[in-house]
Structure 1
Amino acid sequence: MSFESLGLAPFLLRALSEQGYENPTPIQQQAIPLALAGHDLLAGAQTGTGKTAAFGLPLLQHLGTAPQSVGQGPRKPRALILTPTRELATQVHDSLRGYGKHLRIPSAVIYGGVGMGNQLDALRRGVDLVIACPGRLIDHIERRSVDLSGIEILVLDEADRMLDMGFLPSINRILAKLPKQNRQTLLFSATFPESIKTLAMEFMRNPREVQVTPQNTVAEKIAHRVHPVDGGRKRELLLHLLAQDSRVQTLVFARTKHGSDKLAGFIEKSGIQTAAIHGNKSQGQRMRALSDFKAGKVKVLVATDIAARGIDIDQLPRVINFDLPMVAEDYVHRIGRTGRNGSTGEAISLVAQDEAKLLRAIVRMLDRDMDIRDVPGFEPQVPIRWGNSAPGKAEQPGGDRAPRKPGGGRGRRPHGGEGQRHAHAGPKSHTGQRDGARKPADGRGRGGGPRRDAQR
């Protein structure tokens, strides 16, 4: 299928061709025709599947072809895109400017952490498109510097994340300022908890639903590996892994802002160029760190879950979970930054005893095996108690199974070399695999990873 077959206008096809995009991704194939037809849309799409183009191209086509109502007073915005973070807002804005390069659509990107001067100037001049984070948009609503009564298309990008971040009251306040009639709403979310469905029913009109991949699946080309370690030795193990090849760009996830700074400082002192990105950093610091990481000036970027939204790198080879996420679904968001566009990726998790329960939840959610290996010299002093559901039988590197404890105990750490085990998604049969090979937990192959198409 080509972009031409989706019904896109020539000015968009030309821009896509100039950027090297030839074939639409699955979410684009399903969402674009429905959005062009004017339907409200409830779309399930993970990071890296091309969802920005899936809503951005129909939005630009509407703005570029539908006449604007002429009225008195300053120009009112016609389209509004809400995103959870400033990084994602900037990324969406940049992508849409690229897709709309042959159009004249004035736009503004609005987020907190910076002064309001430039945003106020842009809104006073008049814009057709506003891309905003909810908190700062509320500030402008209160100052009456933005009038949302002319919005024709509303997009909620990463709706699940916005609700996780506590933006529901702000979203409801924004919705109250939008016209209820003749408005198209497109909601994109990686997961669909009940709170999302409830929200959708309140402000959407008979939305069509599309889901391009089963919920909580990840690219097949990502290798998942777990290294058990005592909590007090995590930093040493991380440094050991990074030092094995310090040229490999690595995104490291930490749980807290303070922890991110401490970890980045520790790595930097070892001689590896490192930066940290989290909510307490200024916008300038965050943009500079992200730019340096993308350019390769910084080899390691330490991030929290929230700050990492909007990190869009085509070929990021490695993601390391220094801390496991508290919510299993966040694992999908984290590792979705590697293994993109058909390239291979590596997702490594450093897991201490107090995180065994979190790992079990991730394995159950993914419904696939994970390769569990001790790193020589960093084995936990006491083998981690994984519980009954994960992991399964331990194996020697040569394929010999480790002895079990009397009474059927499982998961003892084999002596010598890297002990390889698998964390199982459930009580399924198991066959030994060597050299870090992975097998889907149900024995079937799953859908392929995203392609190098319009993945912005």
Structure 2
Amino acid sequence: MSRSTQSLCLFCQHRSLLYTSQQRSFRPWELSRSMAQVQRPRRPSRMTLSPKVSRPPTRTTPSDRPIGRRTNSPFAGMNQKYVDLRRQPPARSRAETSRTSRGRERPQKERETFHALKMQSALAPVSYGQRASTKEKISGTDSFEDFPLLRVVKESVFSQALAGMEDVVPTPVQRLAIPVLLGNETRAARRRSSSSEKKEMEQFLLAAETGSGKTLAYLLPVLDAVKRAEAIEAEIEAKKKAQEEEERKNANYHALEPPPLSNAPHSTTGRPRAIILLPTSELVTQVGNLTKLLSHTVKFRSALISSAYSGKVIRNRLFAPTGIDVLISTPHLLASISESDPNILSRVSHLIIDEADSLLDRSFAPSTSTVIDKSTPSLKQLILCSATIPRSLDSYLRKRFPDMRRLVTPNLHAIPRRVQLGVVDVEKEPYRGNKNLACADTIWSIGKAAAEHTGDTADVKRILVFVNEREKTQEVAEYLILKGIEAIALSRDTPEQRQIETLSAFTMAKKESVEVVSKEISAELRNGPNYVPLGSKTPATSTPPPRRHLPNTKVLVTTDLSSRGIDTLAVRHVILYDVPHSTIDFIHRLGRTGRMGRRGRGIVLVAKNDRRDVVREVKEGMFKGQALI
């Protein structure tokens, strides 16, 4: 290569070589293509990692919006740190501040309220705006005299139902429900209902906290309707007899008619006007006692039937020659009777389903629906009553009864502030994980403190201990007996005759007549088959007498059998041996104390595997007076 060629740049040398080798001229587009091939960057090797490997994936779009996870992909459930079965939006970090629609910041504590209870999602929410409006609506009623009840029904409240009480004032649920169930509407609503040819069945859901007097809230309007219908029928019957007598006088001859039979059955025999359905025989006895008390003044015929009575007793009560107006029963028994005698539901105008959250669940729903369907043609009012509204009941009512009117008190799903909640850590000293020992020590502390405070050795302290499994009731009761505590086990395995006798010791009678009724029922039960005396034991299960004894203290170890509707007015202390599975069980178990405005105390025994976060949130909600979820 010459010296002139070496002085050229590489580009010029390459060009000169091309020209000399090919001995021809290149076009412009061919030169640009060749230079592009020279300047093209080399591709990286397949084994070379990308510089973005160590960077986290972007979680927001360019507009700062979170990237949603695809749920319709077959790989949507992979590579997740937390279970997201319900596809709820991910919780924001504490560093992120949430803003409302108006742009105001919301505090962190407000967002994390009831975090553990929200995981259960057992109860239907009730807005605080609805609670406030209801509270303002019922604030103007201060006495039973303000209700448009019959005079005889009002007198029965003071003389029978609430006898012995100094200040007889209606509770919030009674102020809310009684005027509505009586049909106190505006003039325009009355004109619309009177103009319609056929009146539709009225549907009501009565929801109030435990111990608030729901039984009296629906029983007084029903008895008022029964007495008014009885008066109308008596007037119609009198006019009919007068017309027949007038026709007989105007006739040319008098036909000989046979005299009426002296033992002829009443026209209402086996055909009640009102039916009250309850889940257990204990509740049937309790509501039946109150109904019999009111019948002394209001003068109507009532009967209570359940599986605790023999078939002969049930038949004599239901088909009594004097007739029947109000029937208190369980759904299974009444549904089975209606299959053989459908005429028993042909005259029902008022149907009350108490403890509706239990009677409309999987076990009771078929029998309850059968009774509702057979009594619908003659039904005027359907009243559902409950202390809680679970989500399952809420969805069932929206599908089956979309027009149902809901009467909800301001304190629904809230445990009253007058009930204090204490927590005992079983894992600490001196218990070391022994729940039985912690339960016995707590009962001894309550018994001694109450005796020292009152100084009355004749007053009996009654304590309820709730467990989750019925097999545990007998075990805990036997352990408490060994520690000198008078304890009785009550579960579904206990004979029904003994169940009523056991619960009668933990319910306070309001009057001597209630005690008489309870004694009559107990006498009928003793005459029944397979009766086992209370407190009897076989020699094989007898235990040696304890060294010391806790006087004037009675303990009932039970399951949720005794947490539904039982009027345990004499119980001041409730011990939760096991942490309840849901918020509904918390409300019903703690609702056995602090009833009718009285103070009470609940104690939870928390072990190693129990949900401490749930207990903590329930305690905080009770302290703040908030409704649980």
Pick the TM interval, shorter chain: 0.7 to 0.9
Q: Which letter does structure 2 place at the counterpart of 1:133?
A: T
- Once the two structures are superposed, residues 266-318 of structure 1 have per-residue CA deviations (whole angstroms, 9 ceiling, x without a partner) of 11222221112222212210111112334797610111102333431324210
Q: 1:345 matched to which residue of 2?
A: 600
Pairing 1:96–2:291 present: yes
Q: Distance in 2 between the 1:86 and 1:280 partners?
A: 14
TM-score (norm 1): 0.75
Q: 1:420-435 residue pairs with structure 2 within 5 A?
A: none
1:62: Cα distance to partner?
Answer: 0.9
Q: 1:247-326 residue pairs with structure 2 within 5 A?
A: 248-294=461-507, 299-326=554-581
Q: 2:359 matched to which residue of 1?
A: 162
Pairing 1:31–2:172 present: no
Q: 1:218 matched to which residue of 2?
A: 415
- Judged with a 3 Å threshold, the aligned counterparts in structure 2 of structure 1 residues 107 and 198 are, in CA distance, closer, same or farther, namely farther
Q: 2:273 matched to which residue of 1?
A: 78
Q: 1:34-53 residue pairs with structure 2 within 5 A?
A: 34-37=180-183, 39-53=202-216
Q: Distance in 2 between the 1:143 and 1:124 partners?
A: 14
1:113: Cα distance to partner?
Answer: 4.0
Q: 1:27-426 residue pairs with structure 2 within 5 A?
A: 27-37=173-183, 39-67=202-230, 74-125=269-320, 126-144=323-341, 147-164=344-361, 166-201=363-398, 204=401, 206-230=403-427, 232-246=433-447, 248-294=461-507, 299-356=554-611, 359-361=612-614, 363-364=616-617, 366=618, 368-369=619-620
- Judged with a 3 Å threshold, the aligned counterparts in structure 2 of structure 1 residues 171 and 439 are, in CA distance, closer, same or farther, namely closer
1:145: Cα distance to partner?
Answer: 7.9
1:24: Cα distance to partner?
Answer: 0.5
Q: 1:451 matched to which residue of 2?
A: none
- Judged with a 3 Å threshold, the aligned counterparts in structure 2 of structure 1 residues 72 and 29 are, in CA distance, closer, same or farther, namely closer
Q: Distance in 1 between the 2:276 and 2:435 partners?
A: 40
1:191: Cα distance to partner?
Answer: 2.0
DSSP-derived class of the 1:341 partner? helix
1:86: Cα distance to partner?
Answer: 1.3
Q: Which letter does structure 2 place at the counterpart of 1:105?
A: F
Gapped runs of 5+ residues in structure 2? 1-141, 185-201, 238-265, 448-459, 509-550
- Judged with a 3 Å threshold, the aligned counterparts in structure 2 of structure 1 residues 203 and 129 are, in CA distance, closer, same or farther, namely farther
1:334: Cα distance to partner?
Answer: 0.6
Query: Percent of aligned pairs with the same residue?
Result: 30
DSSP-derived class of the 1:119 partner? helix
Contact 1:279 1:307 in 2 (8 A): no
Q: Distance in 2 between the 1:171 and 1:362 partners?
A: 34
Contact 1:44 1:191 in 2 (8 A): yes
Contact 1:12 1:100 in 2 (8 A): no
- Once the two structures are superposed, residues 327-367 of structure 1 have per-residue CA deviations (whole angstroms, 9 ceiling, x without a partner) of 221111011111223322111010112212xx534554x4x
- Judged with a 3 Å threshold, the aligned counterparts in structure 2 of structure 1 residues 198 and 175 are, in CA distance, closer, same or farther, namely farther
Contact 2:291 2:302 in 1 (8 A): no
Q: 2:143 matched to which residue of 1?
A: 2
Report the structure, 1 or 2, having the larger strand content. 1
1:72: Cα distance to partner?
Answer: 6.0
Q: Distance in 2 between the 1:275 and 1:220 partners?
A: 29
1:53: Cα distance to partner?
Answer: 0.5
Gapped runs of 5+ residues in structure 1? 370-424, 426-437, 448-456
- Once the two structures are superposed, residues 383-420 of structure 1 have per-residue CA deviations (whole angstroms, 9 ceiling, x without a partner) of xxxxxxxxxxxxxxxxxxxxxxxxxxxxxxxxxxxxxx
Contact 1:85 1:310 in 2 (8 A): no
DSSP-derived class of the 2:464 partner? strand
Single out whichever of 294-303 and 73-82 deviates more from structure 2: 294-303
DSSP-derived class of the 1:276 partner? strand
Larger Rg: 2
1:30: Cα distance to partner?
Answer: 0.5
Q: Distance in 2 between the 1:220 and 1:311 partners?
A: 20
1:76: Cα distance to partner?
Answer: 0.8
Q: Distance in 2 between the 1:104 and 1:209 partners?
A: 31
Contact 2:351 2:383 in 1 (8 A): yes
1:142: Cα distance to partner?
Answer: 3.0
- Judged with a 3 Å threshold, the aligned counterparts in structure 2 of structure 1 residues 242 and 155 are, in CA distance, closer, same or farther, namely same
> Number of matched residues?
372
DSSP-derived class of the 1:151 partner? coil
1:79: Cα distance to partner?
Answer: 0.6
Contact 2:348 2:378 in 1 (8 A): no
Q: Which letter does structure 2 place at the counterpart of 1:256?
A: E
Q: Distance in 1 between the 2:499 and 2:552 partners?
A: 14
Report the structure, 1 or 2, having the larger helix content. 2
Q: Distance in 1 between the 2:371 and 2:552 partners?
A: 40
Q: Distance in 2 between the 1:335 and 1:5 partners?
A: 32
Contact 1:293 1:300 in 2 (8 A): no
Contact 1:25 1:50 in 2 (8 A): yes
1:138: Cα distance to partner?
Answer: 2.0
Q: 1:410 matched to which residue of 2?
A: none
TM-score (norm 2): 0.55
Q: Distance in 1 between the 2:158 and 2:384 partners?
A: 27
DSSP-derived class of the 2:569 partner? coil
DSSP-derived class of the 2:414 partner? coil
RMSD over equivalenced CA pairs, Å: 2.7
1:236: Cα distance to partner?
Answer: 0.5
Contact 1:87 1:310 in 2 (8 A): no
Contact 2:269 2:324 in 1 (8 A): no
Contact 2:413 2:587 in 1 (8 A): yes
DSSP-derived class of the 1:265 partner? helix
DSSP-derived class of the 2:605 partner? strand
Contact 1:123 1:145 in 2 (8 A): no
